[in-house]
């Protein structure tokens, strides 16, 4: 449509230019000064040709103005993109983008305040529907990443039909379509830091596998197939347990070595002997002959 209008505008402009250039200048009164005299036929012929050119000029000028106004209006007009969730309710991805940006800014330290606003709160606070809708002018670029689909755990959403690269001259209605997500489980082994700079002590993946959302994961089988050497003086530490089922996001687990704590040697404290009563030794008494008791009437 815009191409046709542009072509018509160019053609009308050319006709207008030609019509103006073919008209003679206003020489009224110059003939009398120069002594020239026009015949009746010449005057009528001149007026007839100039009259036609003048009429053409007026018509083409009017058409030019109308087409120029129409082209300006079409270029200045905006067109909407309407989004709908899986239940058929109108959804406003610009509000969701604000929530996601607030979470991103807090996560990476761009702001100190933790975001508390939600999509539902924003949707409720803005009463004018047109303020929440996406409106773009003709031929404006459309960045699909700026219009996220409603979040659904374990699923990846996209708009159907797919958004074009540039805005056309009609309203677009896009509905969300979900596909079950596939996510990676990665287990990295972090070796013991080495003082030798030539030794690469960066973490290396020892297990990588793609799972569909909610797939069962056999943790024992995975651990049995891993090659994690034991190192004397260190304990193998897992940053997290292997999940039983695959969640709706990528999972990365790091296996590292933690140095065992060595107890400091301390002198053994002497244990006091059990308190016992001292043994009392009774000195032996020599036996002496018993003193004889004198008989009656016997004196010493």
- Higher pLDDT: 298 or 117? It is 117
pLDDT, mean of residues 226-252: 93
Give the mean model confidence (pLDDT) for residues 97-114: 85
Answer whether residue 300 shows pLDDT above 50: no
Cβ count near 190 (within 10 Å): 15
pLDDT-based confidence at 115, cuts 50/70/90? confident
Report, as an integer, the average pLDDT of 225-234: 89
User: pLDDT category, 33, cuts 50, 70, 90?
Assistant: very low
**Per-residue pLDDT at 73 exceeds 80:** no
Q: How far, CA to CA in Å, does 174 sit from each of 84, 158, 293?
A: 6, 9, 140
Model confidence at 139, in pLDDT bands (50, 70, 90)?
confident
| Residue 136: predicted pLDDT | 93
């Amino acid at each position: 449509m815009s191409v046709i209008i542009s072509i018509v505008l160019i053609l009308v402009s050319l006709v207008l230019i030609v019509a103006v250039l073919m008209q003679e200048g206003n020489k009224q009164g110059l003939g009398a000064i120069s002594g020239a005299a026009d015949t009746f036929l010449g005057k009528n012929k001149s007026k007839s040709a100039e009259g036609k050119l003048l009429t053409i000029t007026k018509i083409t000028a009017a058409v030019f103005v109308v087409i120029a106004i129409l082209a300006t209006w079409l270029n200045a007009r905006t067109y909407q993109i309407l989004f709908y969730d899986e239940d058929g309710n109108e959804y406003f991805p610009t509000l969701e983008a604000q929530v996601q940006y607030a979470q991103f800014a807090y996560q990476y330290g761009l702001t100190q305040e933790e975001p508390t606003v939600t999509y539902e709160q924003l949707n409720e606070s803005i009463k004018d529907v047109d303020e929440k809708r996406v409106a773009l002018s003709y031929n404006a670029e459309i960045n699909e990443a700026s219009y996220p689909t409603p979040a659904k755990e374990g699923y990846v959403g996209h708009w159907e039909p797919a958004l074009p690269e540039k805005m056309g001259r009609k309203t677009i209605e896009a509905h969300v379509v979900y596909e079950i997500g596939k996510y990676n489980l990665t287990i990295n082994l972090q070796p013991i830091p080495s003082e030798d700079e030539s030794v690469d002590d960066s973490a290396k993946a020892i297990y990588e596998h793609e799972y569909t959302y909610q797939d069962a994961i056999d943790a024992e089988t995975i651990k049995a197939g891993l090659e994690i050497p034991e190192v004397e003086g260190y304990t193998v530490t897992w940053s997290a347990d292997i999940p039983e089922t695959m969640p709706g996001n990528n999972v990365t687990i790091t296996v590292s070595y933690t140095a065992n704590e060595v107890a400091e040697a301390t002198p053994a404290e002497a244990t006091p002997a059990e308190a016992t009563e001292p043994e009392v030794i009774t000195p032996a008494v020599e036996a002496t002959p018993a003193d004889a008791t004198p008989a009656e009437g016997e004196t010493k």
